[in-house]
Chains A and B, each alone.
Chain A
Amino acid sequence: MEEDRKNSAGHYQTLMKVANDGIHVLDMDGNLIEYNEAFRHMLGYEDDLPLNIRDWDVSIPPEELPDKLRKLAINPGLFETRYKRRDGSVIDVEINAAGISLNEKQYVYASSRDISHRKEVEAELQNSKQFLSNVFEFLPDATFVIDIEGKVIAWNKAMEEMTGVDEADMLGKGNYEYALTFYQERRPILIDLVLHPRSDIELKYTRTDRHNLFLEAETHLPSLKGKEVYLFGKASTLRDSKGNVVGAIESIRDITVEKKAEASLRESQQKLADIIDFLPDATFVVDQDNRVITWNKAMEHMSGVDKTEIIGQGNHAYSIPFWGDRRETLLDHLELDEGKLASQYDNIVRQGKSLMAETFCPLLRSGQGSYIWAIVAPLYNIEGKHVGAIETIRDITERKKMEADLQRSNQELEQFAYVASHDLRSPLRAIENLSEWLVQDLGDDLPEESEKHLKLMRTRVKRMDRMLEDLLKYSRVGRIQAVIEEIDATAVVFEIIDDQDLNSRFKITTDSLPAFTTYATPFKQILQNLIGNAAKHHDTGKGNIVVRAKKLDRFYEFSIADDGPGIPEQYREKVFGMFQTLRPRDEVEGSGIGLALVKKTVEHYGGNVKLDAVTPRGTLVTFTWPVNILEVEE
């Protein structure tokens, strides 16, 4: 028995020696009774180990120790505490303790294990979990995670905001609880498709995109928290370290704003394309690499080239229908100076950033050739970057022809008026001469009635002569280069008054009339006609005539006011017409050309003329005349 006990004590000693754990035995006061090597190493002592647990345990308050030991003696326990080593460092320790009785005395047997390393790993794990959780919460995209059974195990802030459902109300919920927030029904959604693919569900999305590691999809919800939204989702399976699928994660982004902007951009692009297509003028657009990106209907018609054949073509493809080869056209010369363009184009006009020109393209209209007018402008994006150019081409062949016809017919007309008024006046003068000779030769033998007839005949002859003379003047406006003279408009007015012998009947006032250099003959002609009219059409035969002038920017504005009967408003346009008179010529002699002549002359020199009323009565004629006649383009 003693042998057995000795043996068993020996075994016990051996066990203590080989155990990795720090084994020690304490009495109920915490005094160290026995310990092994591992324990001594654990605390970092040689042979001078402290005598009481209070010397190394820094976790258990000393006053609680007896109680703690008593409890352990009755109920064995596993707990964690902290030891202070000899060098002052502190380690985490896990203790497995139980009561033992030796020689009727109660002891506590404790096996302690250094768990500092495990503690560190645990802390790190805790840290990284916290970190992940922070990241997850912080994600701007609404994100949630389900486990393999479909239960929600994470639901971030952004998700709460998007759905209005709190994390607390969602965590642990399965059976497609999350689908309710989006679709108001329990059914698989994107996150489920990565775990259990289903083509019928996939088809419910506007667009799905399957990548190696994840699945993307877009969808349109008529109502999410009461608002129509477009959502973009991305889902992926989650695997553990062994590669087993343990769940899935989905991120959802609200792309409503982008979608709507995209839609409105598409809409406006489409609208623009429709507008360009609809334009009556042949129009095309190129991008910054000079590739055709728009080619409208009118362009198809003009060039004979279908848009499908040319869209996307670069390298001057657009010049082929016009010139037969790939070459630089107006569009390529936006930056070039006009002089260099003159060999290929006429009437080159630059207006801001756009360039206009005319040319003849022999290939158009099935080889008949067309005169075309083109305008090109560079296109810029919103940042001001050059992104291409637009060119519009108009076939002006008809206009050119009409212009030539018009010019010819104008020339013929002027020639006609000139010749007619010349040649028609000769017989008139003969008639006048002959009628006068009749009166002279017959003398008293001429019956009174016949003399009256001859007199009437001569007034008609005079009238016709006057009309022909005015017609001639009219036809010559602008055709004859007048002479530049220095004139004083005040003196001109008084010359006219003298010539027309108006002094006795009219009070003439002049106000601020300029002295300047101009084409004297047409200018005097205008004043003659207008002052003459004021006097001639005055119903009482006497009154006031006021001639004023004021300087506008590049024109003088002359006005002639009378106190005659005035011209009713409805006739104020009409009286500028040829041969228009408001009263019978037998009452007021006139060719009816005077005002037409004034209008044609004034407009020829870039001015305008208009009629107004004067209060209380009278006519106001206003016309403008260039300050510097040499600046006027004829």
Chain B
Amino acid sequence: MVTSKSIRILLVDDDEVDAMAIKRGFKNSKIANTIVHARDGIEAFEILRGDTAEKSISNPYVILLDLNMPRMDGFEFLDELRKDPQLGDIIVFVLTTSKADEDRSRSYRHHVAGYIVKSNAGKDFLDLIHMIDHYWRVVEIP
């Protein structure tokens, strides 16, 4: 049985402070899940496919994906991910600054589990953390 504590998080975000905010939020909320940080889509695939010795991630995990990133952005990452027979069914939450309708609908077309707008730090952010924590408590992950 998969417990919520054993679920890992692959955070794909080029912004160091955003990554810190996530980690800090988890820590403050006493959520101890492992967070692996990739700075863009390319690095995320290296980690997912075990192409790099520096970082690795093992099942079960979910991905928190930023959209605006250098080298390979969130949509390019999703395109490639959904085509990959091994990685195609991974749960992805999009975590972005973009409130744009077309970004949201484009994301859902890539079968993301949720589209979350990075709002300002503080209470909203904590709500996000708790939502993610809650999500894997109740949702069966493949």
Contacts and interface: CB of A to CB of B under 8 A. Distances in A.
To the question of whether A and B form a pair in one complex, the answer is: yes
10 contacts: A425-B97, A429-B97, A429-B121, A430-B16, A430-B17, A433-B18, A433-B20, A462-B120, A465-B120, A472-B99
Interface string A12-39: 0000000000000000000000000000
Interface in A476-497: 476, 480
Nearest to A418: B100
A436 interface: yes
Nearest to A423: B68
B140 interface: no
Interface in B7-37: 15-18, 20-21, 24
Given A462-B120, A480-B100, 11 more contacts: A422-B68, A422-B97, A423-B68, A425-B97, A426-B18, A429-B120, A432-B120, A433-B17, A436-B121, A465-B120, A472-B100
B102 A480 contact: yes
Contacts of A422: 68, 97-98
Contacts of B20: 433
B100 A426 contact: no
A207 B24 CA distance: 111
Contacts, number: 41
A434 interface: yes
A303 to B, nearest CB: 50
A279 B15 CA distance: 64
Nearest to A473: B99
A429 B118 contact: yes
Interface string B56-74: 0000000000001000000
Contact of B100 (A433, A436, A465, A476): A476
A430 B15 contact: yes
A-B pairs with lowest CB-CB distance, top 3? A430-B17, A433-B121, A433-B21
B135 to A, nearest CB: 23
B106 to A, nearest CB: 12
Contacts of B102: 480
Contacts of B99: 469, 472
**Binding site of B, secondary structure by majority: helix, strand, loop or mixed?**
loop
Contacts of A469: 99
A577 to B, nearest CB: 25
Interface residues of B, number: 18
B101 interface: yes
Interface centre among B20, B68, B97, B118 (most CB of A within 10 A): B97
B122 interface: yes
A521 B100 CA distance: 12
Interface in B91-129: 97-102, 118, 120-122
Interface in A431-479: 432-434, 436-437, 462, 465, 469, 472, 476
Nearest to B97: A425
Contacts of B24: 437
Nearest to A433: B121
B120 A430 contact: no
A607 B98 CA distance: 29
Interface residues of A, number: 19
Interface in A379-428: 418, 422-423, 425-426
Contacts of A430: 15-18
Contacts of A425: 97
Contacts of A433: 17-18, 20-21, 121
A633 to B, nearest CB: 22
A476 B21 CA distance: 29
B97 A426 contact: yes
A426 B15 contact: yes
Contact of B122 (A423, A436, A476, A521): A436
A432 B121 contact: yes
Interface of A: 418, 422-423, 425-426, 429-430, 432-434, 436-437, 462, 465, 469, 472, 476, 480, 521
Contacts of B101: 480, 521
A441 to B, nearest CB: 10
A129 B99 CA distance: 113
A430 B14 CA distance: 12
Nearest to A419: B68
A426 B121 contact: no
Contacts of B16: 430
A82 to B, nearest CB: 127
B8 to A, nearest CB: 23
B90 to A, nearest CB: 25
Contacts of B98: 422
B74 to A, nearest CB: 12
Contacts of A437: 24
Contacts of A521: 101
Interface centre among A418, A433, A436 (most CB of B within 10 A): A433
Contacts of B118: 429
A11 B16 CA distance: 173
Nearest to B96: A422
A598 to B, nearest CB: 19
B68 A429 contact: no
A596 B15 CA distance: 32
B122 to A, nearest CB: 6
A195 to B, nearest CB: 103
B122 A429 contact: no
Nearest to A436: B121
Contacts of B122: 436
A480 B104 CA distance: 13
Contacts of B120: 429, 432, 462, 465
B29 to A, nearest CB: 13
Contacts of B121: 429, 432-433, 436
A422 B24 CA distance: 24
A544 to B, nearest CB: 33
A426 to B, nearest CB: 6
Contacts of B17: 429-430, 433-434
A422 B68 CA distance: 9
A472 B101 CA distance: 12
A423 B97 CA distance: 9
Nearest to A483: B101
A460 to B, nearest CB: 13
Nearest to B25: A433
Contacts of B18: 426, 429-430, 433
A459 to B, nearest CB: 12
A425 B100 CA distance: 14
A369 B68 CA distance: 45
A478 to B, nearest CB: 13
A433 B13 CA distance: 16
A476 B99 CA distance: 12
Contacts of A423: 68
